Each structure stands twice: as structure tokens, then as C-alpha cells.
């Protein structure tokens, strides 16, 4: 056991050393790749058409790629046989570093699209470990250029060159507050729409105890590691980690509204309206409290609705639930966090033996018909089309297209969000939840994460996790009353000194260029 | 068979010892029962946290589905292959290596011993090992899991000291009857060493079965995943640290808690079934070498 632990600690450090040395020798590797990249173009197109090489792809998550109907369909449509491999679910970045550093000859590599993946990507690009895709897209990327917006490709640039094909994530609201509708009905109350109404409802839940829980009654339960409650933060104008204030992006810790939020939350806690044990709640604990009829309001992602619904209905056949719409503050402020940015990045390492074919393959996958087939299958077989919407045919849709998202290497940005809804419609309850958050809200309530499409920002990427933890810890302490709000300014100073100020400067230097 | 009458102190001590051991036993047993109960409980019961020690909403479908699923059965077969081939080769090579080293009179034998001991104390480290495996073109090959682990010097020393404990006269008499060294090793020494070989074979088998790190490093091909690797993927899928980066698609495709528990159970049971039958060898194994250093 100890041995394994030591190895784990040693791995990242050793790999980064190795990456440095590998890049020294990569100079020649780079030359080779360029040579081989230019060589086939002198051949007649029919010759290269005839002999399509087998490609080696390293994908992000590892379901069964072999024997998968999507893989078979793609092989037939693109003409490329692809050997899929996958990174482990646990610590994928360590393994990826090892593979890139040892120049494994992958033709396509897909990683996540979050800020740490962006950091890894930019690092590889700067160290010369990736093939510059700009000329290849120009030459072979007809479908790529048609499907991906110029904005998307621009965001993937490192030093003015495109090294990756980004896959944009679906812009949607994921989490909000879920309330026991039957409790409300019992008390003759309406689903709250403002912060004050929410407070009133929670008070009623506490005093009248509609669930009949006695001492175990919990008006609202949240997770201990997420003290920023989705939807409630919207009423304070701090929906995301960084929010625009007077043309600048400001983190929560430097935003005076955060103080108001904390005072509201600690007040709820003091009045017993917030789970008194919330600090030790995990995701599963919150769900337990809700499905056991102990908690009246929880934070929930719509993807979790089916399992919650099953359990709740089993325990309380008459239970009903509903999403609380974006809660408005007294001055009408409201907001729900909308995901935005990259779902994954796909690049071609210098060690690839067929960089041109890799781009041709990615391009062929974005052919409108092939792409649609990959995403939701064939009309009549896998889905039906009605009134501009796609409906899945079950169970074949789940069996043959259930893992389609694992194959994405760039999306048709105009159509995919519509295709994708077929995936949500595979369960009526999922669709209802998604619809409540994404269709039945005022569009101005959707607040995109402004940093989702930000380029790689070194200082921010380095400090983000540590600073986020610091803010969360502080928030929990204030809410439970272990720390007084009077010290908020001191906390802001501490945050700035811990790297918040450098991140702020860096982000706003970039943001100023976007705002223009 | 009591030599003296049990005193009050003896009783107190016994109660204390038994009590302590029972508590210790329960501490190790309860988590196993808990995971097992989870694997045969209904999802609604798991989500609402109603499963404690006994299954709630008993169902066996999850377990059956996991065991018959393509990914699990394939990983299981791979692990069985690696474990059986690896153990066979390892025990053979280790037993053969230990024999000449037990003959102290052979010239240069102490130097060779020092070289073996050296590898016990020092090794090249992770990256050089990885590069070596890569240069040998063993990445994505099951041999990368077997060859580097084939001789454990510690196990070899245990066998060696057992050989040294065998009476010299046995070999001398065989030699008088005209037996050559190979015959002596295979017909006389190895059959006499069965207890130690069985123990060491078990050490190797458990090592191969439980190995997670080597396949994690050397195996990229999903078709060659071992059971431990598959298990790790399944268990880590729901890790909250990763949850932040998950897209809605990943969340929708996430497998329920009972599947994770069922995978853990299904991969633990085989080795669990083997243990009771082989435990006696383990206990003997601990004694080996304890008399003669």
C-alpha cells in the first residue's frame, strides 16, 4: 500500500521532468512530422484515398469502443479503421502526461475541456508536443469550418495557432433548488419566486412541519462542499465564481454582494431553516434526506431526477416535487448558472504518424449526415422527428447511441444542441426537469460562466482550485457562525494576497480585450 | 491438559482477549457485509440510504447483470489468465533460481547473491521502468504484467532457506545412485519443498490478482483491461472530485450505486473463495524461515 502511495506522489513530478527531456528530442520528431505531413500531399489524391491508414485514438472516457455500433458506423462512413483506447477514470492527466512524454504514436487524443485540461493543452502546445492544425484545417477541414464557429476555433488558439479541435459544451442550466410540491400544497402555499417568499416557505416548513418529521425536520438541505447554493446566489448577483460588475470580472470573495449572501445564509442557519448538519453533508446524504421525506428543499441536477423520483415515490407514493424558478431579490436580480465552454479538446500529438488523416477523419465525422447519425442515429430506426424536435426510439436509442457523447471530436454547433435534446427525452422525467430549468425561465436569468470560453490563463489556472477551496471554507464557517461577518474585509485581503489579485489582473486584462 | 487450575485472572484475561478479537473481527467484517448488502438491494433503497447491514428490496439482477456484462467478464478472464500464467512461470523460475544459490560451496555464489539482494534495495524507479517496458515493446501486452514481476527476491530467499534446511544426505545418496543435478532438483528437492512452493505460489497469485499499478501504467487497450483496472474505473466514476467536470451526458450515463457495489463484490468473491482452502499453507508459510534465518 505504502509503495503504491509513494509511486503516486512520484508520478507527476517524474513525468514533468520526462516531458522536458522528451521535448528536447522532439525537435527532430517535429521535423519528421512536418516532413511526413507534407509528403503525402505530393501524391495523387486517388493513391492516398485508396490506402487509408489505421488510426490510433486515445479517448477521454472508456466505455466499450470495440463492438460498439457507433464505432462500426463511423468506420463505414469515414473509411478509417480506428483503434480506440481510453484514459483511466482515475487521474487521467497523469497517464496522459506519461503517454505524451514517451511519444506514444496516437493520431487523435481527446481530453476534458475544463480549466486544468486547458492548462495541460496549452503546456503541450507551447512545448512543441502538438501538431499545428491551422494549415491542415485550411486544407482538409471543409466540414470543420462549417460546423465550428470562428469564435470556438479562436478560443483554442495558442500563440496564434490552432492546436486542437474543441467540442463546445451544451449551454444549459444544470442545477437549481428542488422543492416538495406536496408539502406546499398541504400548507396552501405557492412555489416561491422571490427570496423573501423562499424564506417564508422555509419558515412554514419549519413551524408547520408538513412532513411530520418532528425534531428531524429539515426545511432546506445543501451539500457541505457547496455552500454557494445555486439559484439563491443568483438573487445576489454572484451566480458564477467570477461575475461581471461594472465591466470587470470580480470573484465572489472580492464582491460586496458575497457578504450579503453570507449574511442571508447564516441567518437561515440561525433560524434553523438550513440543515444544522449541512457542513458534513455529502451528495448522497442530501439525496437521502430528501427521499426520506426529511428535507423540503435541496439542490439538485436534473440528471439526478429519475433516481430521486424512484426513491421518493417508493417511500411516499403521493410525493410531488418541482424546481423553484430563478428567485428574485428585492431589486429584481435573479440568475441561474448556465454551463458554457468546452466539453473536450481533441488534438494531434507530434508523435502521430498520420496527422493529415487524423484531421480528415475528424472532418469526415462532421459531415452533416454522418454527424447526425453519430449523435442520434437514423430517423425511423433510432429517432423520430416531430415539430422540429427529435424523439428517441427506445430501447434501441440507448443501446446503440447511448454512448455517442464519448465519440465527439467537435460538434455541429448549430444543430447538436437540438439533436442532443433527444438524449434528454429518453426519460420523460429528465425532460421535464431540463425543460423547467431551460425552457420555462426568463432568458435573462441565464448567466453563462464568463470564464468558460477564456483562453488558458496561467495564474488563474494555478490558483483557482486553492482559492476556490479557501472561499468555500470561509463561507461554511460564516454560515455556521464559527466566523463573524465583520471580518469580511480582512478575508478579502487575505484572498487577494493568496493569489486572488494576480488572477483578477490577469483575467481582466483578457476580459478587456473581449469587451471591445 | 491444564497444567494448573485456571485462576480468576485467567478468566478476565480470556474474556478481554476474546472480546477484543470479536470486536476486531466485526470491524473488518461489517464493511464487507455492507457492500454485499448494497449490491443486492434496490436502487430506491440505496438512494434513500435505507440499507444498513441487511439488504432492502432484495434483488439479484444487478449482480447477474454485472457478472454477465461484456466488460466485466472480459476483464475477469484477463485477470485469470495473468494470474495463472504469471503464477506458474514465477514459481517455476523462482524455485529454479533458488536451488543453485542454496549451494554455498559453488564459486562466486556470494557475489551473485549480493547482486540479487541489491535489486531488493535499489531499483531504477518508475520512469526508467516504463521506458524499459516500452523499448521492449511490451506496452499493451499482458507480458508487461508478468515478466517484471516474475522473480521476487524475497520469495526466492524464502525458498532458498527452505532448501538449505533439507538434509544434505538426501542429495548425496541420490548422487550415489547416479542422479544428475537436474534429476535431483526435479525428482527430489521440488517434491520435498511442496509446502514452501504452495505458500510462495499463493503469494504470487494474490500479487498478480491484486496488481493495479502495472496494468494502469502499461495497458491502454480497453480489451486488455484487468479486473482491478475495470474495478477502479467503475468505482471512481462517481467520485465527487471528478463530478465538477462532468457534462450532463456523463451524469445521465452514470451507473447507479448498486452496480458499483456489485462489481466490487463480484471481483472479491473469487479470491475470497480460494482463501479458506489455502489458508493452512499461509500459516505454514509464516513459519518457514523463522527457525533458520
- Contacts with A45 (C-beta within 8 Å, 6 or more apart), sequence order: none
Fold of A175-338+453-515: D-Maltodextrin-Binding Protein; domain 2 (3.40.190)
Which B residues, 113 through 132, put their C-beta within 8 Å of a C-beta on chain A?
Answer: 125-127, 130-131
Beta-bridged to residue A110, according to DSSP, are A346
A320: left (phi over 0), alpha (psi -120 to 50) or beta: beta
Closest CA to A167 of A355, A340, A349: A340
**Are A170 and B232 in contact (CB < 8 Å)?**
no
B256 CB neighbours in chain A (<8 A) are 307
pLDDT tens-digit map of A156-174: 899 999 999 999 998 989 9
Are B24 and B77 in the same domain? no
The partner residue sitting opposite B49, judged by closest CB among A104, A114, A284, is A284
Which B residues, 209 through 238, put their C-beta within 8 Å of a C-beta on chain A?
Answer: 212-213, 216-217, 220-223, 229, 232-233, 236-237
The DSSP code for A496 is I
Stretches where chain A sits below pLDDT 50 are: 1-9, 20-48
Identify the sign of the CA torsion A360, A364, A366, A371. Answer: negative
Report the alpha-carbon distance of residue A321 to residue A179 in Å, rounded: 6
Report the alpha-carbon distance of residue A288 to residue A308 in Å, rounded: 9
CA dihedral defined by B26, B27, B33, B39, rounded to 10 degrees?
180
Is residue B215 included in any domain, yes or no?
yes
Q: What is the CA radius of gyration of chain A?
A: 25
A66 CB neighbours in chain B (<8 A) are 222-223
The DSSP code for A239 is -
Are B117 and B159 in the same domain? yes
**Are B249 and A423 in contact (CB < 8 Å)?**
yes
Span(s) in chain A for CATH 3.40.190.10? 11-38+49-169+343-384+403-412, 175-338+453-515
Q: Which helix (H) or strand (E) holds A55?
A: strand A55-59
At residue A125, φ and ψ (nearest 5 deg) are -60, -45
State how beta strands A446-448 and A164-168 pair.
Answer: unpaired
Domains: count for chain B: 2
A86 CB neighbours in chain B (<8 A) are 220, 222
Is residue B236 included in any domain, yes or no?
yes
Is residue B163 included in any domain, yes or no?
yes
Cell numbers at residue A101, please? 512524454
The Cα of B230 is separated from the nearest Cα of chain A by a number of Å equal to 9
The partner residue sitting opposite B216, judged by closest CB among A88, A284, A402, is A88
What's A11-38+49-169+343-384+403-412's CATH class? alpha beta
Report the alpha-carbon distance of residue A103 to residue A328 in Å, rounded: 54
Test mutation, A8, A88, A169, A423, chain B, max B CBs within 10 A: A88
Cβ-Cβ contacts under 8 Å between A and B: the total is 129
DSSP assignment of A261-306 equals: HHHHHHHHHHTT-B-TTGGG--HHHHHHHHHTT-EEEEEEEGGGHH
B249 CB neighbours in chain A (<8 A) are 405, 420, 423
Are B1 and B91 in the same domain? no
A288 CB neighbours in chain B (<8 A) are 47-49
Residue B137 touches partner A, C-beta closer than 8 Å: no
**Are A85 and B130 in contact (CB < 8 Å)?**
no
Residues A83 and A31 sit within 8 Å (Cβ to Cβ): no
- Contacts with A4 (C-beta within 8 Å, 6 or more apart), sequence order: B212, B213
pLDDT in tens, chain B (293 residues): 556 678 888 899 999 999 999 999 999 999 999 999 999 999 889 888 888 889 998 999 989 988 888 889 999 999 999 999 999 999 999 999 999 999 988 999 999 999 999 998 988 888 888 989 999 999 999 999 999 999 999 999 999 999 998 888 888 899 999 999 899 999 889 988 888 888 898 889 989 999 999 998 899 888 899 999 888 888 877 654 444 556 777 777 777 788 889 999 998 888 778 777 777 766 665 555 545 44
CA dihedral defined by B29, B30, B36, B41, rounded to 10 degrees?
160
Domain boundaries, position B276:
61-287
Q: In chain B, pLDDT over 90 holds for what percent of residues?
A: 45
Q: What is the CA radius of gyration of chain B?
A: 25
Residue B206 touches partner A, C-beta closer than 8 Å: no
Are B202 and B120 in the same domain? yes
Burial class (CB in 10 A: 0-12, 13-18, 19+), A353: middle
Residues A432 and A320 sit within 8 Å (Cβ to Cβ): no
Count of CB atoms within 10 A of residue B156's CB? 21
Is residue B258 included in any domain, yes or no?
yes
Is residue B87 included in any domain, yes or no?
yes
Residue A85 touches partner B, C-beta closer than 8 Å: yes
Q: What is the ipTM of this complex?
A: 0.77
The partner residue sitting opposite A301, judged by closest CB among B50, B223, B251, is B251
CA dihedral defined by B8, B11, B12, B17, rounded to 10 degrees?
160
Are B74 and B47 in the same domain? no
Report the alpha-carbon distance of residue B33 to residue A391 in Å, rounded: 43
Which A residues, 255 through 314, put their C-beta within 8 Å of a C-beta on chain B?
Answer: 282-285, 287-288, 291-292, 301-304, 307-308, 310-312, 314
pLDDT at A371: 96
Is residue B293 included in any domain, yes or no?
no
At residue A292, φ and ψ (nearest 5 deg) are -90, 5
Are B79 and B46 in the same domain? no
Cell numbers at residue A300, please? 439538485
Domain CATH code at residue B267: 1.10.3720.10
The length of chain A, given as a count of residues? 516
**Are A89 and B217 in contact (CB < 8 Å)?**
no
Report the alpha-carbon distance of residue A311 to residue B45 in Å, rounded: 7
Q: Which helix (H) or strand (E) holds A477?
A: helix A458-480
User: What is residue A224's three-state secondary structure?
Assistant: coil
Report the alpha-carbon distance of residue A305 to residue B248 in Å, rounded: 12
Residues A372 and A411 sit within 8 Å (Cβ to Cβ): no
- Contacts with B168 (C-beta within 8 Å, 6 or more apart), sequence order: none
Report the alpha-carbon distance of residue A178 to residue A433 in Å, rounded: 10
Residue A102 touches partner B, C-beta closer than 8 Å: yes
The length of chain B, given as a count of residues? 293
Residues B66 and B268 sit within 8 Å (Cβ to Cβ): no
Task: Compute CA distances A363 → A86, A146, A147, whole Å.
Answer: 21, 10, 9
Report the alpha-carbon distance of residue A475 to residue A93 in Å, rounded: 30
Residue B110 touches partner A, C-beta closer than 8 Å: no
Among chain B residues, the shortest Cα distance to A422 is held by B249
Residue given cell 500531399 in the structure block? A41
Q: Which helix (H) or strand (E) holds A342?
A: strand A342-347
The Cα of B114 is separated from the nearest Cα of chain A by a number of Å equal to 23
Q: Which helix (H) or strand (E) holds B229?
A: helix B227-236
Q: Which helix (H) or strand (E) holds A344?
A: strand A342-347
Identify the sign of the CA torsion A197, A199, A205, A208. Answer: negative
**Are A85 and B221 in contact (CB < 8 Å)?**
yes
Is residue B195 included in any domain, yes or no?
yes
Cell numbers at residue B71, please? 466488460
A307 CB neighbours in chain B (<8 A) are 43-44, 47, 256
Residue B239 touches partner A, C-beta closer than 8 Å: yes
Cell numbers at residue A435, please? 425543460
DSSP assignment of A90-125 equals: SSHHHHHHHHHHTT---SEEEEE-SHHHHHHHHHHH
The Cα of B292 is separated from the nearest Cα of chain A by a number of Å equal to 28
Which A residues, 328 through 387, put their C-beta within 8 Å of a C-beta on chain B?
Answer: 339, 343
A90 CB neighbours in chain B (<8 A) are 232-233, 236, 239
Report the alpha-carbon distance of residue B69 to residue A92 in Å, rounded: 24
Are B43 and B109 in the same domain? no
Residue given cell 448538519 in the structure block? A277
Report the alpha-carbon distance of residue A145 to residue A138 in Å, rounded: 8
Residue A171 touches partner B, C-beta closer than 8 Å: no
B251 CB neighbours in chain A (<8 A) are 174, 301, 303-304
Residue A95 touches partner B, C-beta closer than 8 Å: yes
Q: Which of B41, B59, B77 is the last residue of a domain?
A: B59
**Are B232 and A88 in contact (CB < 8 Å)?**
yes
Which B residues, 257 through 276, put their C-beta within 8 Å of a C-beta on chain A?
Answer: 257
Which A residues, 40 through 69, put their C-beta within 8 Å of a C-beta on chain B?
Answer: 58, 61-62, 64-67
At residue A177, φ and ψ (nearest 5 deg) are -85, 135
Among chain A residues, the shortest Cα distance to B210 is held by A1
User: What is residue B23's three-state secondary structure?
Assistant: helix
pLDDT at A20: 46
The Cα of A43 is separated from the nearest Cα of chain B by a number of Å equal to 32
At residue B278, φ and ψ (nearest 5 deg) are -105, 0
The Cα of B127 is separated from the nearest Cα of chain A by a number of Å equal to 7
State the SS3 of A160-204: CEECEEEEECCCCECEEEEEEHHHHHHHCCCCCCEHHHHHHHHHH
**Are B213 and A4 in contact (CB < 8 Å)?**
yes
**Are A4 and B212 in contact (CB < 8 Å)?**
yes
Is residue B257 included in any domain, yes or no?
yes
Closest CA to B59 of A181, A59, A314, A62: A314
Residue A191 touches partner B, C-beta closer than 8 Å: no
Are B84 and B185 in the same domain? yes
Report the alpha-carbon distance of residue B253 to residue A467 in Å, rounded: 31
Strand intervals (E) in A351-406:
383-386, 389-392
Count of CB atoms within 10 A of residue B160's CB? 24
Helix, strand, coil share (%) of chain B residues, nearest 5? 75, 0, 25
**Are A287 and B47 in contact (CB < 8 Å)?**
yes
The Cα of A400 is separated from the nearest Cα of chain B by a number of Å equal to 13
Are B35 and B112 in the same domain? no
Task: Compute CA distances A288 → A184, A208, A266, A275, A320, whole Å.
Answer: 20, 22, 23, 13, 16
CA dihedral defined by B7, B10, B11, B16, rounded to 10 degrees?
160
Residue given cell 467540442 in the structure block? A167
State the SS3 of A140-155: HCHHHHHHCCHHHHHH
Amino acid at each position: 500500500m505504502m509503495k503504491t502511495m509513494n509511486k503516486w506522489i512520484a508520478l507527476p513530478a517524474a513525468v514533468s521532468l520526462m516531458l522536458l527531456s522528451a521535448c528536447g528530442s522532439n525537435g527532430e520528431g517535429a521535423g519528421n512530422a512536418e516532413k511526413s505531413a507534407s509528403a503525402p500531399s505530393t501524391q495523387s489524391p486517388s493513391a492516398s484515398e485508396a490506402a487509408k491508414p489505421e488510426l490510433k485514438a486515445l479517448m477521454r472516457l472508456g466505455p466499450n469502443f470495440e463492438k460498439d455500433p457507433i464505432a462500426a458506423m463511423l468506420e463505414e462512413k469515414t473509411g478509417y479503421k480506428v483503434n480506440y483506447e481510453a484514459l483511466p477514470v482515475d487521474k487521467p492527466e497523469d497517464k496522459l502526461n506519461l503517454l505524451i512524454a514517451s511519444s506514444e504514436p496516437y493520431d487523435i487524443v481527446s481530453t476534458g475541456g475544463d480549466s486544468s485540461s486547458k492548462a495541460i493543452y496549452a503546456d503541450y502546445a507551447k512545448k512543441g508536443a502538438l501538431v499545428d492544425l491551422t494549415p491542415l484545417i485550411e486544407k482538409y477541414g471543409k466540414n470543420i469550418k462549417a460546423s465550428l464557429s470562428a469564435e470556438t476555433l479562436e478560443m483554442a488558439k495558442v500563440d496564434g495557432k490552432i492546436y486542437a479541435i474543441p467540442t463546445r459544451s451544451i449551454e444549459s442550466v444544470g442545477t437549481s433548488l428542488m422543492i416538495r410540491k406536496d408539502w406546499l400544497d398541504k400548507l396552501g402555499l405557492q412555489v416561491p419566486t422571490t427570496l423573501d417568499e423562499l424564506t417564508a416557505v422555509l419558515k412554514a416548513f419549519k413551524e408547520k412541519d408538513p412532513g411530520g418529521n418532528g425534531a428531524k425536520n429539515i426545511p432546506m438541505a445543501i451539500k457541505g462542499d457547496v455552500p454557494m447554493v445555486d439559484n439563491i446566489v443568483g438573487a445576489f448577483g454572484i451566480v458564477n465564481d467570477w461575475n461581471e460588475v461594472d465591466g470587470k470580472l470580480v470573484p465572489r470573495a472580492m464582491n460586496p454582494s458575497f457578504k450579503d449572501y453570507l449574511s442571508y445564509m447564516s441567518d437561515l442557519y440561525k433560524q434553523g431553516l438550513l440543515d444544522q448538519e449541512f457542513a458534513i453533508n455529502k451528495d448522497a446524504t442530501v439525496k437521502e434526506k430528501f427521499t426520506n421525506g426529511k428535507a423540503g428543499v435541496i439542490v439538485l441536477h436534473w440528471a439526478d431526477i429519475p433516481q430521486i423520483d424512484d426513491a421518493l415515490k417508493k417511500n411516499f407514493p403521493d410525493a410531488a416535487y418541482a424546481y423553484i424558478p430563478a428567485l428574485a431579490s428585492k431589486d429584481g436580480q435573479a440568475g441561474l448558472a448556465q454551463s458554457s465552454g468546452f466539453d473536450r479538446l481533441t488534438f494531434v500529438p507530434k508523435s502521430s504518424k498520420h496527422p493529415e488523416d487524423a484531421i480528415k477523419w475528424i472532418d469526415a465525422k462532421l459531415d452533416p449526415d454522418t454527424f447526425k447519425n453519430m449523435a442520434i442515429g437514423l430517423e425511423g430506426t433510432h429517432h423520430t422527428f416531430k415539430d422540429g424536435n427529435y424523439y428517441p426510439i427506445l430501447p434501441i436509442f440507448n443501446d446503440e447511441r447511448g454512448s455517442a457523447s464519448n465519440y465527439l471530436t467537435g460538434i455541429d454547433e448549430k444543430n447538436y444542441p437540438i439533436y442532443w435534446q433527444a438524449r434528454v427525452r429518453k426519460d420523460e422525467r429528465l425532460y421535464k426537469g431540463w425543460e423547467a430549468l431551460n425552457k420555462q425561465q426568463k432568458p435573462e436569468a441565464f448567466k453563462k460562466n464568463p470564464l468558460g470560453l477564456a483562453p488558458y490563463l496561467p495564474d488563474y489556472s494555478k490558483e483557482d482550485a486553492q482559492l476556490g477551496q479557501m472561499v468555500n471554507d470561509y463561507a461554511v464557517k460564516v454560515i455556521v457562525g464559527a466566523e463573524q461577518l465583520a471580518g469580511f474585509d480582512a478575508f478579502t485581503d487575505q484572498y487577494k494576497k493568496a493569489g486572488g489579485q494576480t488572477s483578477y489582473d490577469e483575467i481582466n486584462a483578457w476580459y478587456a480585450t473581449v469587451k471591445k | 491438559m491444564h497444567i494448573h487450575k485456571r485462576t480468576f485472572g485467567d478468566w478476565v484475561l480470556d474474556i478481554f482477549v476474546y472480546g477484543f478479537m470479536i470486536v476486531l473481527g466485526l470491524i473488518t467484517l461489517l464493511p464487507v457485509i455492507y457492500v454485499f448488502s448494497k449490491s443486492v438491494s434496490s436502487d430506491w433503497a440505496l438512494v434513500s440510504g435505507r440499507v444498513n447491514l441487511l439488504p432492502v428490496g432484495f434483488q439479484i439482477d444487478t449482480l447477474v447483470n454485472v457478472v454477465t456484462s461484456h466488460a466485466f467478464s472480459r476483464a475477469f478472464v484477463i485477470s485469470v489468465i495473468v494470474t495463472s500464467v504469471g503464477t506458474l512461470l514465477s514459481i517455476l523460475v523462482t524455485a529454479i533460481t533458488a536451488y543453485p544459490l542454496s549451494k554455498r560451496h559453488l564459486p562466486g555464489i556470494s557475489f551473485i547473491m549480493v547482486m540479487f539482494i541489491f535489486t531488493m534495495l535499489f531499483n531504477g524507479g518508475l520512469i526508467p521502468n516504463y521506458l524499459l517496458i516500452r523499448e521492449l515493446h511490451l506496452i499493451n501486452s499482458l507480458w508487461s504484467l508478468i515478466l517484471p514481476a516474475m522473480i521476487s527476491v524475497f520469495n526466492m530467499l524464502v525458498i532458498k532457506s527452505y532448501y538449505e534446511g533439507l538434509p544434505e544426505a538426501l542429495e548425496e545418496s541420490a548422487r550415489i545412485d547416479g542422479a544428475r543435478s537436474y534429476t535431483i532438483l526435479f525428482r527430489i528437492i521440488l517434491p520435498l519443498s511442496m509446502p514452501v512452493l504452495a505458500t510462495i505460489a499463493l503469494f504470487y497469485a494474490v500479487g498478480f490478482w491484486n496488481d493495479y499499478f502495472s496494468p494502469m501504467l502499461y495497458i491502454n487497450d480497453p480489451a486488455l483491461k484487468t479486473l482491478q483496472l475495470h474495478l477502479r474505473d467503475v468505482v471512481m466514476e462517481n467520485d465527487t472530485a471528478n463530478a465538477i467536470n462532468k457534462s450532463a451526458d456523463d451524469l445521465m450515463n452514470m451507473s447507479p450505486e448498486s452496480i458499483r457495489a456489485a462489481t466490487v463484490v463480484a471481483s472479491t468473491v473469487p479470491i475470497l473463495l480460494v482463501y479458506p482452502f489455502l489458508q493452512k499453507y499461509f500459516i505454514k508459510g509464516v513459519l518457514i524461515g523463522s527457525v533458520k534465518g
